[in-house]
Chains A and B, each alone.
Chain A
Amino acid sequence: MIDDRLRRPTTTTTDDAPAGADQPKTDAAGRISFRTRIVLALLLTSTLPLAVFGLIVFAAELILGRQGADAVASQVQLFAFAVLVAVAVFTAFGLASELTTPLRDLAASVDRVSKGDLGDPIVVAGDDELARLAESHNRLASDLERRNRELGSILEAIDQVSPRDDVDAIVERVGPDAVAAFALIDAVVIMGDPGTIGLEEVVPGVSRPLRAVMRAGGADIGVLIGRLPATRRWEPADQDLFELFASAMAAAIRNAQLFATVESQNRQLLDLDAAKDEFLRGVSHNLQTPLTSIRAYAEQLDAASPDRRLGIIAEQSERLSRMVRQLLTVTRLESGALRPRIEVVSLATRVRKAWEGLGVDGVAFELRDASDGWLAVADPDQLDQVLWALLDNAIKYGGGAPVTASLAVDEEARRIHLTIADDGPGVAETDRWRLFRRFERGSASVSDGGSGLGLYVSRELCRAMGGELVLAAAGERGAAFTVMLPGETGEEP
């Protein structure tokens, strides 16, 4: 923010400053130069007492005569001498203090100026050396004050531009701001290469052209030109201030340009993201709708005349549906748009249903439920995706060996642990670190047709639900994954 001192009004003081109080005295001595006054004062203090002493001695001799009054006369002379010395000392003091008053005022005033108080001019009448000194001091102070004011206006102008402002609006306001800050006749910003913008000649007596290059980020983006009234002085310090203003405004314009660019890119990205969402919705719709029909008709036919092949059609279409959904989940994970819908679910039921949904023949499945009535607190849809992926993996890598799912409760952490274990080749030590990465799978089997997304998606989903997915065991044989989810005891309250 802007320092208040910079904005103080031009004249503020009516206080009893020494300079003002001494005005009449300096007026009285106004016509005589300072040097003359010092000469007069020195002469006065050195010669006047001597002259008076001479007069007194002369008068005493006239009055007392020559006869026999020597003792009285010398006493009178001694007394007169003493009185005159005292008078001379006092007169010298008086004159010295009279003569140095303006000097002390000047010193006090310079002191105030250096402390930032530019309000009071020193008034010294006449045109002696002291008056000229006071005048140049006053001019310095008023210049300082004017530049302070200009700097204040500049800071205020800078303060009022925000990178969110329209670039053109900022460009347009720089001119008026410059006019206000520097008391110019007019000013305007011309955007473009400064080299192409011609210089104006300075003609005495006519308004003076001003010019400052607008430089930001190492590039010249334009020129600030203006006209100064012919009567105004324009010193290098003023030009410096003018250029400072131009470069600050150039930076503001540059920021606004960058901000606008970022904003528009942002909008583009949002548009693209929305378009992507819409596209995925369309893809999903266009795939899921026929898959729904296929499965439903297959189920209807199977119900009418049971045929194992119809069951396979139904299961495979279901499988395709799940893969489509998994892809949707991946894109949502990437865009951070995944929002779990937390409900209360029985993990045991959900696992059993997921296993049935996979429609596997010839693989034994065992569910060991030690959850003691605890229920998981999770998003049912997302949980299903995790279960399908883990069970599918267990079947795929288990090579026909039994798959077991076991449920246990960590009462202290209020979590339910579900461990799904297969009896396959397990996960090689070298593969473990990349198991949960996207598009990775165990090197043991390459041509399994999986997407390589299952574990990645599952772990992310578990985490989104406030849980975790870890590789629990990876021995010589078999892999086991443990899903940990928030849980609650199922007791009646």
Chain B
Amino acid sequence: MLGGGRVYRILLVDDDANMLALLADQLRADGYEVSTARDGEEALRRLRTSWPDFLIIDMMMPRMDGLSLAREIKNQADLPIIVLSAIDAGDSKADLLEEVAEDYVTKPYHYPELRARINRVLRRLGDKVPRKSLILGPDLTLDLHRREATVGGQTVQLTPTESRLLYALAANLGQTVPTETLLARGWAETEDADPSYVWVTMRRLRQKVEVDPNRPAHVQTVRGIGYRLVGAVGRDGEVGAEGRPAL
């Protein structure tokens, strides 16, 4: 378990009794404290009395669907949410899902994959990245909650993995983040992922967010260790003001 023995509380919302029982058992076996709700209204009632650390919500439920419930909850508090859904990334609703939820898991899910995603979401709880734009200089602004970057005035879309990596880097602005950490953040659910995943993804990320990818100004490689994200770079190549950009 994460967090030095701390027990995380999960609120599980699903209208299917079998699923609810099954998943609750699996999560309890992994040491989570699980409470359950059969629909959105019950979930909201429960939230009035106790506050979980995060929620797992089924996408399709009678009365209030998972998307509406997730929106409702996000209006009240920034609780992490994982959505279980039978739709995949190709669905037109997948984007909506990603906007309100931290992550979503496609049914039929494999429990180890779900667990890996839960762990990643919990790890990111410690990352304090503002939900507003992160201005790294005149040529780069990150809007990670929308998975967008503005590079030299042009808006580019980031993939979920790219934005996860940038989250981890932005949370440690100006500091080197080890490749292993980035690997855990970007590919929590992927077994056999190796550092080359990070290298290739970072190389592709630079093509997107750097004005001159061959002379990166913001996404810098620290050879043999990892990467760091820095704000506007001074003339001598040094990071200005401890790399802390204006927010």
Contact = CB atoms under 8 A, between A and B. Distances in A.
Contact of A281 (B22, B93, B159, B203): B93
Interface stretch (A82-90, A123-131, A332-340, A419-427): A332-340
Contact of B159 (A297, A318, A342, A493): A342
Q: Which bucket holds chain A's interface residue count?
A: 35 or more
Contacts of A381: 88-90, 106
B108 A344 contact: no
Interface string B1-29: 00000000000000010110010001000
The secondary-structure label for the interface of chain A is helix
Given A282-B60, A337-B92, A341-B89, A288 B203 contact: no
Interface stretch (B30-38, B115-123, B132-140, B189-197): B189-197
Contacts of B202: 493
Contacts of A285: 59-60, 85-87, 107
B176 interface: no
B26 A296 contact: yes
A343 B161 contact: yes
A166 interface: no
B159 A343 contact: yes
Query: In the complex, which of the residues A288, A343, A344, A382 has the most CB atoms of chain B within 10 Å of its own CB atom?
Result: A344
B152 interface: no
Contacts of B74: none
Nearest to B18: A293
A289 B161 contact: no
A349 interface: yes
A281 B91 contact: yes
B199 A491 contact: yes
Query: In the complex, which of the residues A292, A328, A338, A382 has the most CB atoms of chain B within 10 Å of its own CB atom?
Result: A292
Contact of A325 (B88, B109, B111, B203): B88
A290 B88 contact: no
A113 interface: no
Interface in A320-359: 321, 325, 328-329, 332, 337-344, 346, 349, 353
Given A342-B159, A343-B161, A373-B196, A488 B90 contact: no
Interface in A281-304: 281-282, 284-285, 287-293, 295-297
Contacts of B16: 289-290, 293
Contact of B200 (A277, A289, A332, A344): A344
Interface in B159-204: 159-161, 191-197, 199-204
A342 B161 CA distance: 9
B86 A289 contact: yes
A321 B88 CA distance: 12
A394 interface: no
A328 B90 CA distance: 9
Nearest to B15: A289
Contacts of B193: 346
B221 interface: yes
Given A281-B87, A281-B91, A284-B86, A292 B200 contact: no
A325 B106 CA distance: 11
Contacts of A353: 191
B192 A288 contact: no
Contacts of B221: 493
Nearest to A322: B108
B18 A290 contact: yes
A238 interface: no
Contacts, number: 108
Nearest to B59: A285
A293 B22 contact: yes
Interface in A25-54: none
A379 interface: yes
Nearest to A337: B92
A321 B108 contact: yes
A488 B91 CA distance: 27
A365 B92 CA distance: 37
Interface in B188-246: 191-197, 199-204, 221, 223
Given A281-B86, A342-B159, A491-B199, A289 B19 contact: yes
A353 to B, nearest CB: 8
Nearest to A380: B190
A339 B157 CA distance: 13
A492 interface: yes
A332 B22 contact: no
Contacts of B108: 288, 291-292, 295, 317-318, 321
A490 interface: yes
Contacts of B160: 341
A287 B195 CA distance: 37
A488 B86 contact: no
Nearest to A357: B110
Contact of B204 (A291, A339, A349, A488): A488
B189 to A, nearest CB: 10
Contacts of A325: 88
Contacts of A297: 22
A102 to B, nearest CB: 72
Contacts of B85: 285
Contacts of A287: 86
Nearest to B111: A296
A418 interface: no
A339 to B, nearest CB: 6
A243 B184 CA distance: 77
Given A296-B22, A346-B192, 19 more contacts: A281-B93, A285-B59, A285-B60, A288-B86, A288-B107, A288-B108, A293-B19, A328-B91, A337-B92, A341-B89, A343-B159, A344-B197, A346-B193, A346-B194, A375-B197, A490-B200, A491-B196, A491-B199, A493-B221
9 contacts: A289-B16, A289-B86, A346-B196, A349-B192, A373-B196, A377-B204, A379-B89, A490-B199, A492-B223
3 closest A-B pairs by beta carbon, nearest first, are A490-B196, A292-B108, A288-B107
